[in-house]
Amino acid sequence: MEYSVQMGSTKKKVDYALFTDGSPAVFVEAKGCDTAITDSHADQLRSYMRQEWVDWGLLTNGKSFHIYRLKKDGDKPDVKFLRRIDLSDLTANDWLLAALSEESIRSGASTEIYQRVERRRQAIETLTDRKAWVAEAIRETVVDRVGEVVSQPAESLSKTFVDDLVAELESDQNDGHTDASNSAQSRTESDRSEQTDVHDLSGAYVVEIADQTDSNLFSDDSQADLMGIVVDHLIREHGLIDAYSPLPYVPGKKIAILNDEPAHPSGEEMRLYRAVGGDYYVYTSLNKGDKKRHLRDFADACGVEIAFDGEW
């Protein structure tokens, strides 16, 4: 049912309000299936939730579902974006939508789900921002237990461990070996001057690939998935494989970033990767900065421009 919210001197209508114990617990804003979810839609829902102190919010156009949670901090509540789920991924992520059910809200299970998501977000943020400190602490612990003989290899491997840990936390429940071409969300334009605003793409991370005639925008909530999507596009449309032939592409000493099999030159299987371009694999067990660096290198090799937006 619709619910009226007093906003200053005017009343606004929330499309749907789900009640528990006589009070709204979830606000739902529903847009048309041909309407792209924008920042203004999200800001509208956030303002309704803050005004009425409603714990949960759902913004949807029937193709993607954006879930929000009120964070109560004294007299100034804030609304956090938790996650976006595409319709094609709904079954694999029904546990998150289940947080909005009456039973979950009454039992407190919805709060536990939110706390789990928030703990993961905070862990990713800490590991990313304090990577050097965490890696050094790991190295010191290993050296203390084993001896100085392992100091040098432990320094390199501890940083790799932190990167792998971040990538693992960022990955979805079904983070296996997804073909990026199946999950791509892209928009192509023939006229750069009529380019769609990147905010029309509702994923947390946005990448733009542009050449002399076309501009392509790609968006996803997962850095690893988005890296796969962009590399898939560069292979299919801009000849990325030719630029790095013969494979594997190994910019350092041991790690293959791009290969025709999901393995490094040593034969060790890639820890995390995405299948791209039909018969190739891109290594995605990287921190945010390294993902951007390799994507820039790939774009340069293809002679196209690349730009990052969103939470990059």
Residue 123 lies in a domain: no
Identify the DSSP state of 70: E
> Under a CB-based contact definition with an 8 Å cutoff, are residues 32 and 45 in contact?
no
203, 63, 277, 229: CA torsion to nearest 10: 0
Per-residue pLDDT band for 171 (boundaries 50, 70, 90) equals: low
Of residues 89 and 144, the one with the higher pLDDT is 144
Measured CA to CA, the distance from residue 45 to residue 68 in angstroms comes to 9
Helices (H) and strands (E) in the chain, counts: 10, 14
Q: Are residues 8 and 42 in the same domain?
A: yes
Question: Which range marks the domain in which residue 268 is found?
Answer: 180-310
Residue type, 300: D
Residue 78 has phi, psi (to 5 degrees) of -125, 155
Q: Are residues 306 and 198 in the same domain?
A: yes
Reference 181, options 231, 217, 222, 245; nearest CA is 231
First to last CA, the chain: 38
Tell me the per-residue pLDDT of 58-96, one tens digit each, with 9 for 90 and over. 999 998 899 999 988 777 889 988 888 888 777 767 777
Residue corresponding to tokens 């890696």: 135
Q: Are residues 8 and 49 in the same domain?
A: yes
> Under a CB-based contact definition with an 8 Å cutoff, are residues 196 and 38 in contact?
no
Residue type, 252: G
Is the pLDDT at 270 greater than 50? The verdict is: yes
Q: Are residues 57 and 154 in the same domain?
A: no
Measured CA to CA, the distance from residue 70 to residue 118 in angstroms comes to 12
Give me 138's structure tokens: 């790991």
Q: Are residues 85 and 21 in the same domain?
A: yes
Residue type, 72: K
Q: Are residues 139 and 187 in the same domain?
A: no
The predicted pLDDT at position 79 comes to: 92
Tell me the per-residue pLDDT of 181-202, one tens digit each, with 9 for 90 and over. 344 344 333 333 344 434 345 5
Per-residue pLDDT band for 180 (boundaries 50, 70, 90) equals: very low
Split into its structural domains, the chain has a count of: 3
CB contact set of 99 (below 8 Å; sequence gap of 6+): 56, 67, 105, 109, 110, 113, 114
146, 150, 151, 156: CA torsion to nearest 10: -130
CATH code of residue 229: 1.20.1380
Tell me the per-residue pLDDT of 294-307, one tens digit each, with 9 for 90 and over. 999 999 999 999 99
Residue 175 lies in a domain: no
pTM over 0.75: no
Helix (H) / strand (E) element for 144: namely helix 131-146
> Under a CB-based contact definition with an 8 Å cutoff, are residues 220 and 311 in contact?
no
Q: What percent of the chain has pLDDT over 70?
A: 89
**Whole-number mean pLDDT of the chain?**
84
Of residues 118 and 27, the one with the higher pLDDT is 27
Measured CA to CA, the distance from residue 249 to residue 294 in angstroms comes to 11
The predicted pLDDT at position 92 comes to: 67
**Of the listed ranges 62-76, 111-125, 159-173, 190-204, the one predicted with least confidence:** 190-204
Angle separating helix axes 131-146 and 151-170, nearest 10 degrees: 130
Q: Are residues 301 and 218 in the same domain?
A: yes
Tell me the per-residue pLDDT of 211-243, one tens digit each, with 9 for 90 and over. 888 889 998 878 888 999 999 999 999 999 999
Measured CA to CA, the distance from residue 290 to residue 296 in angstroms comes to 10
